């Protein structure tokens, strides 16, 4: 047996040396691979998640500092050891959420505080605090106050005194309409004549009613148009409570009284605020760009025909992005087979593709 001990020891030493060299080669390769990855990152800072820190710190605690200095390439050895000390401190903390000072207010919580305050004008700090607690966010009232102050949002009593335009529209959406004018130049026997077109649009559905067309409109004509759209039998404004309009002098006190007598309150928009009547403005832009600006109109009859054809197309043949790209007036059950036909209006200016009913 003594004769075998020396060769066996030699074999074990050689094997251990070979294994050590293999491990060294693996480590060298991994270090070089890390250096390549670091070169790819360039000057950008490597961001490590908490879970990744835990994994690295758990491995680092088994190695002496000298070895860490040799092999670590992602972060410094001191950083790894600091993570390890942090893990030890967390283990013996005694409270899973304990941290220095007040709880950290995350960006999500800030956004929630601002959203709740702006969407609920009567919510004070305590109400917002309770709503956040429902979402498992525990925030002090003082923190909520500081967030609102930082964003220029008043406390609840100040916010309650004002109703935003957006809130008014949202609250009364289904009973809102808007009235407006647009003008069209038409060739007549007297030369180029400007006609005014008065229309009313239902905001929720985008339905439009042409209330009147006149070359020289006056307040009496507008009042008569008001009577027509508020007719108790077939008036366009049946069921509507509010009509928005700008400060055009043609929308006179007599016009407002006519609508009020039918139970419709008029809302005069502030000066120079076309965006507050955006749906009416959009209809004007649509009818002009898609139709009137592309026609030479000769005589009042041609104007009336063009507007009549466009309104029919607008309601039943034109898809509206604000209505999920649907038609205002939808046809009956869709046919999925049969010949596709094209319905043309105004000499092909307006087209609608459909499958005719059987």
Give pLDDT, residue 79: 67
The C-alpha angle 243, 278, 114, rounded to 5 degrees, equals 100
Greater confidence (22 vs 187) lies with: 187
State the total domains in the chain: 4
Greater confidence (347 vs 270) lies with: 347
Quick one: which of 150, 145, 149, 111 has its CA closest to 129?
145
Q: Is residue 320 part of a domain?
A: no
Q: How far apart are CA 271 and CA 246, in angstroms?
A: 8
Both 255 and 244 in one domain: the answer is yes
Give pLDDT, residue 149: 83
Both 23 and 64 in one domain: the answer is no
Neighbours of 252 (CB within 10 A): 16
Residue 108 has pLDDT above 80, yes or no: yes
Quick one: which of 233, 287, 231 has its CA closest to 259?
231
Both 274 and 204 in one domain: the answer is yes
Both 195 and 236 in one domain: the answer is yes
The C-alpha angle 281, 287, 290, rounded to 5 degrees, equals 125
Both 41 and 142 in one domain: the answer is no
Residue 247 has pLDDT above 60, yes or no: yes
Residue 102 has pLDDT above 50, yes or no: no
Instruction: Check: CB of residue 321 under 8 Å from CB of residue 312.
Output: no
Task: Collect all residues with Cβ–Cβ distance below 8 Å to 193 and sequence separation of at least 6.
Answer: 185, 186, 187, 215
Give pLDDT, residue 154: 76
Per-residue pLDDT band at 1 (split at 50, 70, 90): very low
Q: Is residue 309 part of a domain?
A: no
Q: How far is CA 132 from the centre of its chain?
A: 23
Give pLDDT, residue 163: 61
Q: What is this structure's pTM?
A: 0.57
Residue 350 has pLDDT above 80, yes or no: yes
Q: Which of 91-105, 113-127, 198-212, 226-240 has the lowest mean pLDDT?
A: 91-105
Give pLDDT, residue 174: 87
Both 156 and 198 in one domain: the answer is no
Please give the structure tokens belonging to residue 331: 């046809």
Quick one: which of 91, 142, 149 has its CA closest to 117?
149
Give pLDDT, residue 120: 82
Please give the structure tokens belonging to residue 241: 């409570």
Residue 340 has pLDDT above 60, yes or no: yes
Rg (CA), the chain: 38
Give pLDDT, residue 158: 57
Greater confidence (330 vs 7) lies with: 330
Greater confidence (117 vs 273) lies with: 117
Give pLDDT, residue 137: 86
Q: Is residue 210 part of a domain?
A: yes
Q: What are phi and psi of 339, to 5 degrees?
A: -70, 140
Both 68 and 83 in one domain: the answer is yes
Q: List 342's β-bridge partners, or say none.
A: 353
Give pLDDT, residue 74: 63
Both 196 and 267 in one domain: the answer is yes
Q: Is residue 267 part of a domain?
A: yes
Q: Both ends of the chain: CA-CA distance in Å?
A: 106
Give percent of the chain above pLDDT 90: 42
Instruction: Check: CB of residue 175 under 8 Å from CB of residue 244.
Output: no
Both 178 and 293 in one domain: the answer is yes
Give pLDDT, residue 97: 52
Per-residue DSSP letter, 115:
H
Query: What mean pLDDT value characterizes the chain?
Result: 81
Both 208 and 292 in one domain: the answer is yes
Give pLDDT, residue 330: 83
pLDDT tens profile 210-229: 999 999 999 999 999 999 99
Output 154-159 pairs: Cβ under 8 A, ≥24 positions apart: 155/124, 155/125, 156/117, 156/121, 156/122, 156/123, 156/124, 156/125, 156/127, 159/117, 159/121, 159/122
Instruction: Check: CB of residue 247 under 8 Å from CB of residue 276.
Output: no
Neighbours of 48 (CB within 10 A): 14
pLDDT tens profile 165-179: 666 677 778 899 999
Averaged over 46-59, what is the pLDDT? 70
Both 251 and 241 in one domain: the answer is yes
pLDDT tens profile 279-332: 999 999 999 999 999 999 999 999 999 999 999 999 999 999 888 899 999 877
Q: Is the dihedral of CA 87, 98, 144, 149 positive or negative?
A: negative
Residue 353 has pLDDT above 80, yes or no: yes
Tell me the residue range of the domain where 72 lies. Answer: 47-90
Residue 126 has pLDDT above 80, yes or no: yes
Q: How far apart are CA 307 and CA 311, in angstroms?
A: 6
Quick one: which of 152, 153, 158, 208 has its CA closest to 178?
208
Per-residue pLDDT band at 75 (split at 50, 70, 90): low
Q: How far apart are CA 294 and CA 309, in angstroms?
A: 14
Give pLDDT, residue 211: 97
DSSP SS3 for 23: helix
Residue 105 has pLDDT above 80, yes or no: no
Tell me how far CA of residue 88 lies from CA of 66, 85, 214, in angstroms: 21, 5, 85
Give pLDDT, residue 181: 97
Neighbours of 229 (CB within 10 A): 25
Q: How far apart are CA 281 and CA 287, in angstroms?
A: 10
Q: Is residue 324 part of a domain?
A: no
């Amino acid at each position: 047996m003594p004769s075998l001990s020396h060769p066996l020891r030699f074999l074990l030493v050689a094997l251990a040396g070979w294994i050590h060299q293999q491990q060294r080669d693996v480590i060298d390769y991994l270090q070089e691979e890390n250096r390549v990855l670091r070169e790819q990152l360039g000057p950008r800072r490597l961001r490590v998640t908490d879970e990744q820190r835990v994994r690295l710190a758990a491995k680092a605690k088994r190695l002496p500092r000298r070895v860490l200095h040799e092999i670590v390439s992602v972060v410094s050895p001191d950083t790894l050891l600091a993570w390890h000390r942090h893990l030890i401190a967390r283990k013996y903390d005694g409270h899973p959420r304990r941290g220095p000072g007040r709880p950290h207010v995350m960006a999500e919580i800030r956004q929630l505080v601002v959203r709740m305050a702006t969407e609920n004008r009567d919510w004070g700090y305590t109400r917002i605090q309770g709503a956040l607690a429902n979402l498992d966010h525990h925030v002090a009232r003082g923190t909520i106050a500081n967030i609102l102050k930082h964003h220029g949002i008043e406390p609840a009593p100040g916010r309650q005194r004002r109703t935003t335009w957006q809130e008014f529209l949202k609250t009364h959406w289904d009973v809102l309409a808007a009235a407006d004018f647009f003008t069209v130049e038409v060739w007549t026997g007297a030369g180029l004549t400007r006609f005014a077109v008065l229309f009313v649009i239902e905001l929720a559905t985008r339905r439009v009613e042409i209330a009147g067309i006149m070359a020289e409109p006056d307040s009496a004509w507008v009042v008569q148009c008001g009577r027509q759209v508020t007719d108790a039998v077939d008036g366009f404004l049946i069921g509507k409570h509010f009509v928005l309009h700008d400060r055009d002098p043609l929308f006179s006190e007599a016009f407002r009284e006519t609508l009020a007598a039918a139970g419709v309150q008029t809302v005069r928009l502030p000066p120079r605020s076309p965006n507050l009547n955006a749906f009416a403005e959009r209809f004007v832009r649509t009818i002009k760009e898609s139709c009137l600006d592309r026609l030479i109109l000769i005589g009042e009859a041609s104007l009336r025909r063009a507007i009549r054809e466009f309104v029919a197309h607008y309601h039943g043949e034109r898809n509206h992005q604000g209505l999920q790209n649907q038609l205002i007036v939808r046809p009956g059950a869709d046919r999925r087979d049969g010949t596709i036909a094209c319905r043309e209006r105004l000499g092909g200016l307006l087209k609608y593709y459909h499958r005719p009913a059987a």
